[in-house]
Structure formats: C-alpha cells, structure tokens
Chain A
Amino acid sequence: MKSLEEREEVIELETDPYVLNIGPHHPSTHGVFRMRVLFDGEVAVDVEPMLGYLHRGIEKLAETRTYTQAIPLTDRLDYLASMTNNVAYCMTAEKLAGIKVPERAEYIRVILSELMRVSSHIMALGFLMNDLGSLFTPLFYAAREREKLLDLFEMVSGQRLLYNYMRIGGVSQDVPERFVKKAQQFVDEFPGYLDEIDNLLTENEVFRMRAEGVGALSAEDAINYSCSGPVLRACGVNRDIRRDDPYSIYDRFDFDVVTGENGDVYDRYRVRLEEIRQSVRIVKQALRDLPGGEVQTKHAHFLRPPVGEAFSRIEAPKGELGFYLVSDNSIAPYRFHVRPPTLLNLSPLRDMIVGWKLADAILILGSIDIVLGEIDR
C-alpha cells in the first residue's frame, strides 16, 4: 500500500456550496438573530445577517410619549445594562433643555453605570464560554456574581432587570444607607471571585487554541466600519469616551484604558476581563467621595425644551451609545433616534467570519456580544 504522499494522482472531491440558515430560534445566537451562511465544505464563504425579528418600533412609539414617559422605553434597548441607556437619554434631554444635574446624582450615576458595566461584561464572558462548549459551568459562576449585583440594584430601584431609575435632571430617589455599605462590601470581595474565574479560564490551553487568531479584525477596518467599545479596543485603537470626551464627572476619576493587540476573540475576552477590574476601581473611588445633597433638579412636569436638536453619547458596556433628539417645543420629542453600538459592531461580521469554519463562526458572533433589543429597537 502506498502512502498518501507516494501516490501520483490525488483525487480532489468537488464540493457544492450550500446555504445553512442559522435561524432565529437558536440557542447560541444570543437572541433572535438570523444568519445565512454559504459554506464550501466546512469553510464559510459568505455571510448575510438578517435582522428585524425584534423590531418593536421604539422610535415611532417615543414620538407619542412625553420626554419622561420615554425613559422606560429606553430601558428595553440594551436590557442587560439598562441604567446606562437611561443615563445616555437623560444626558441628551438635559443638553437639549439646558438642565444641570446636582453633584450627588452625578456620583450615583457613575457608581451605578460602572456596576452595570461589571454585570454586563461578566455575563458576556459567561455566554462566550457557553458558545465554546463548556456548557454552563462558567455561566453559573458568572450568574452567581451577577445575583449579588442584582440585589444591589433592587435595593436602589425596586426592580431586578429593567429599572427606570434615572430621570431628566438627576435620579428618581435617593439611595438607601445600606446600599453604600453593601456596595463597599461587594467591591472588597469581588476581585477575589474574579481571580477565581480568571485562573480557570485565561491560561486554559483549550480556550487559547480555539480563540487565538480567530476572527481577527485590523484597526483600520474597525474604524472604517464604525466599531466601538471592546471590539475596537481589542484591535489596538486606544479610544475610550470616558477619557477622550469626558461626560458627567469622569474626569475626576483615575482609571486605565485597556487595549488588545490582534483584534481576535481572545483579545476581546481579555479586554472585557480587565475592564471589569477598572470599573471596580472607579466604584471604589466614587464611594469614597460620595457627597450629600439633593438628587434631582426640579423642572416643569411636562418638559418643553426649546426648538433645536442634540446628540450626545456615552461609553456603554457594548460600545458608544448615542441619542439624537429633535424638539419642536412640544411635550413629546419630534424625532428620537438611538445610535446602537451593537448594530455597527456587527457591520464587519462578513469580514470576520469568511474563511473560518462553522464552530468558529458561532464563537465570533458570541465574542461581539450582541443584544437584539438594541440592534432592532
């Protein structure tokens, strides 16, 4: 029997291209997201994302509600980190109406936004491990930590998931005293639990083999496709809105901006892990400096901003979340638009998936960390 190298003619099998519909009801698509992938053998050749299965018409609905009634609608956008959506919308409305926020409310907003970032990133890591195949064990570790955070949020606003806590001009009510104590206890104990997850996963050989080099995106492509957030920072671009265009009181805090090198799945994982540590650092500083005072600037019950438009953005956990509001001096906004970070992070999906196999395609989609409520609005 001759070996494969010794034979003179090799028979090449011609394969048909076939279309696989990774459909809207799927355990690993993080929501109702549909992709049609054209495969040649097992290698992906073309990808067509199809969106819109959760399009609820939030932008049209907000035109029929007053400015304050639109705040619960913004909760339902990125439902894993709802308070950051509220903060972004309230900042835009305050810019439009010219309202200033008191100091204590600013500190409370920063503390809660950073805790939301911790909650969102740790769930993103848990679901990424789910996509890799280590079914549910890292996800249960992450969920255990998130339950402690949800207790803190319930203490503040009464709800576990969709809070409706921020108002135009501040926050709706003051934080109770035991919140500060419990938050201090959380930030003291949490780095220990994070190290536990870190030791299990970061240097894990199976994870590194599957994730390094997969789905790499170059820095120029990422900027051209308007990516933002951890996806952009993992490509090596040093850009964070909290430092480059500081809003609220972020210029008083001391934190590092974490970047990666190659823009592959492993770098996005590392950037998210390190960002959790930086967020805990910011929360410690804010809890130490929390001043007293009132928590909401009073304004008219039906807010009527002057005619004009405003655009402002924040660094949400998924990327750069912006709101564009146009007002015509009536009680409802004339135009309400969300600039969704995850929709634009999905633009390079085709460039990232082409050339990789089916299992890698699912992993790349999981590493972008999409939330369908924000993409489809």
Chain B
Amino acid sequence: MEIALFSMDEINRQLAEADRWETAEIGALMDIAQEPIPDDLDWLNEEPRNKIIGWGQGKSTWGVNFGLACCAFEMMSSAFSRFDQSRFGMEIMRPSPRQADFMIIAGTVTWKMAPKVRRIYEAMAEPKWVVAMGACACSGGTFTSSYAVVPGVNRILPVDVYVPGCPPRPEALINGFIQMREKIRLAKQK
C-alpha cells in the first residue's frame, strides 16, 4: 500500500496557498458586509410557543465564549465566584461551538478575524443566539473610524442582544443574559 509522504517543499507550498486563501476570504467578506444585518424584531408580536420547551431552553444555556479583547475579562469576572453566572444556568462556557446554544462576542472584531467569527457561528447547531458585548462589538466603539475594524459585529452576524459599555460591568452582562432568556422563551421555533 502506498503511503504518500510529504516533503518540506510540499508543506511550504500548501502553507503559502493557505495564506492566499485567507486573503481571498477576508476580501469576500468585506464585499458582502457593507450594510448591517437588520435586527429581528418579530419575536415581540408572536404567540409564545410551547411553554415548557421555551422555559427549559432559556434556563440552562451553554455558550461559546469568544473573548477577543478587554471585554473578555469582564466576561470571565462574571463567571468567577463574585458575580456567579452559573446561578442563572450559564454553567458551561466552553470554546467549542458544536455543543453551544449561544455565542458571546466580547471585544473588537477586526477584518482579519471576521471570517473566523463567521465560521464559528456557522459551526453552531440551530437554534442559536448571539450576544454582542461591549461597545466595540455593538458598533465599533472607540475604534469605529479605524481602517482595520469591523464597525459593529452586526455587519457579519445577526445579533439578538446588545450589551453596551466599555467594558460593561458583570452585572450588566448578566442583565443581558436575562433579556436573552426572555427572548428564547418567546421566540418562534427556528
């Protein structure tokens, strides 16, 4: 049986190709991300769906912590013992998207990082929700006019809850979770 052995030239060629592919991905995303994705507001007018499922899904959500910059430390502080978030059901904040219900984007998203954020969002299973934490994720924050920053993560993902602040206090983030739980309870089946 033939086993193909890679030589160093082959590996270097593939690495250079991976770099070029990353450039193409960033360019493609910049082209389609010119307008923010509009927020979904019909959940306010809908009939609440099956009460048990909605109640249960909201009470024990598992999240992907996507901590990028300074807001990541306030997110971690809300998970530590002083502002314990596991009493609200958010016990598990693992980095893996396949077992997650929602995703917190905490920090500034740059154009170089944007395709990776999009890829993690697409790897999550339905139903899923997105929380934008911090001023940089809501609208670009202090860095809005910079050449390398996505002005608000709602250019590339549909966002459900916005938590403003720079950085928001852990209590504000937990308030955001409670709003998200309310939305999960009332939202139509996705």
Contacts and interface: CB of A to CB of B under 8 A. Distances in A.
Interface string A149-185: 0000000000011100000000000000000000000
Interface string A63-85: 01000000011001001100000
Contacts of B69: 31, 54, 76, 79, 372-373
Contacts of A72: 142
Contact of A55 (B107, B112, B166): B112
Contacts of A54: 68-69, 107-108, 110, 113
B45 interface: no
Contact of A31 (B15, B68, B82, B145): B68
A61 B81 contact: no
B32 interface: no
A53 B112 contact: yes
B8 interface: yes
B74 A160 contact: yes
Size category, A interface: 35 or more
Nearest to A16: B6
Contacts of B113: 24, 32, 53-54
Interface in B43-96: 66-70, 72-74, 76-77, 80-82, 94-95
A61 B145 contact: yes
A147 B82 contact: yes
A237 B149 CA distance: 40
A17 B167 CA distance: 43
Size category, B interface: 35 or more
A54 to B, nearest CB: 6
A284 interface: no
Interface of B: 5-6, 8, 11, 15, 66-70, 72-74, 76-77, 80-82, 94-95, 107-108, 110, 112-113, 116, 120, 142-143, 145-149, 166-167, 169
29 contacts: A16-B5, A19-B15, A24-B113, A25-B66, A25-B95, A25-B116, A25-B120, A31-B69, A52-B112, A53-B112, A54-B113, A55-B148, A56-B110, A56-B148, A57-B143, A57-B149, A60-B146, A60-B147, A64-B145, A73-B142, A79-B70, A79-B73, A160-B167, A160-B169, A161-B70, A161-B74, A161-B167, A372-B69, A373-B69
A76 to B, nearest CB: 6
Given A53-B110, A162-B70, A140 B146 contact: no
A76 B136 CA distance: 12
B108 A56 contact: yes
A95 to B, nearest CB: 26
A207 B95 CA distance: 25
Contacts of A373: 69-70
Given A79-B73, A147-B80, 16 more contacts: A18-B6, A24-B113, A25-B66, A31-B72, A38-B11, A52-B110, A54-B113, A56-B148, A61-B145, A64-B145, A76-B142, A79-B69, A140-B80, A147-B82, A160-B77, A161-B167
A152 B79 CA distance: 21
B173 to A, nearest CB: 12
